[in-house]
Amino acid sequence: MRVMNFIKHFILPPSRRCLYRCRATPTPTPQRALATESNNHLISQQSNNLHQKNMACLDTTVHSAGIAEVHDVPMEVIKRPIPSVLDELKVQSLMTTINQESSEAEVPPVDILWIVGSEGGNYYFSFGGCHRFEAYKRLNRPTIKAKLVRSTLGDLYHYMGSSAPKYLA
């Protein structure tokens, strides 16, 4: 009985909090995510559920650990304000992996900070995932697999300091 009480009080509440957090900041549906972008691209939800399940616990970051949905995000809408420092061999190796249907799923989605501007515009910023981004770019892929992490201008400031935009419409 004591053990059950312990579990109820100290283990269940955090799990519920996590569930609540996930619901409170839902990952956008494809249509909502780019609804106000001038381009007509769609961020489509990855249909490969197996991949999602496999990647849910592995190869995830602290930012996207609670996010299961993976989207195909158009490369052209992603802003990367900080230039990448690249290991050429790693980029080449990733290109090979991504290019083979049998191994593409071994490359996990990158994290993208998704910010909704004050007038409803959608902005997508990416800082990590330098080698994956470069590999997708060189392969001329129109989209990249990504988890959208709902973020704020304050979050952007952590990455960019005073170079961060003060206002996004």
Q: Which residues bind ligand ATP (CB under 6 A)?
A: 59, 90, 93-94, 97, 106-108, 128-132
Q: How far is the CB of 31 from ligand ATP (least distance, A)?
A: 28
The whole-angstrom distance between residue 10's C-alpha and the CA centroid of its chain comes to 30
E strand map for the chain = 44-45, 71-74, 78-79, 110-116, 122-125, 143-150
Q: Which two tokens stand for residue 2?
A: 């004591």
The DSSP symbol for 39 reads S
34/143 with CB nearer ligand ATP: 143
78/107 with CB nearer ligand ATP: 107
Q: How far is the CB of 137 from ligand ATP (least distance, A)?
A: 12
Q: How far is the CB of 59 from ligand ATP (least distance, A)?
A: 4
Q: Pairing state of beta strands 78-79 and 122-125?
A: parallel
Q: How far apart are CA 72 and CA 143, in angstroms?
A: 5
Q: How far is the CB of 69 from ligand ATP (least distance, A)?
A: 18
71/80 with CB nearer ligand ATP: 80
117/128 with CB nearer ligand ATP: 128
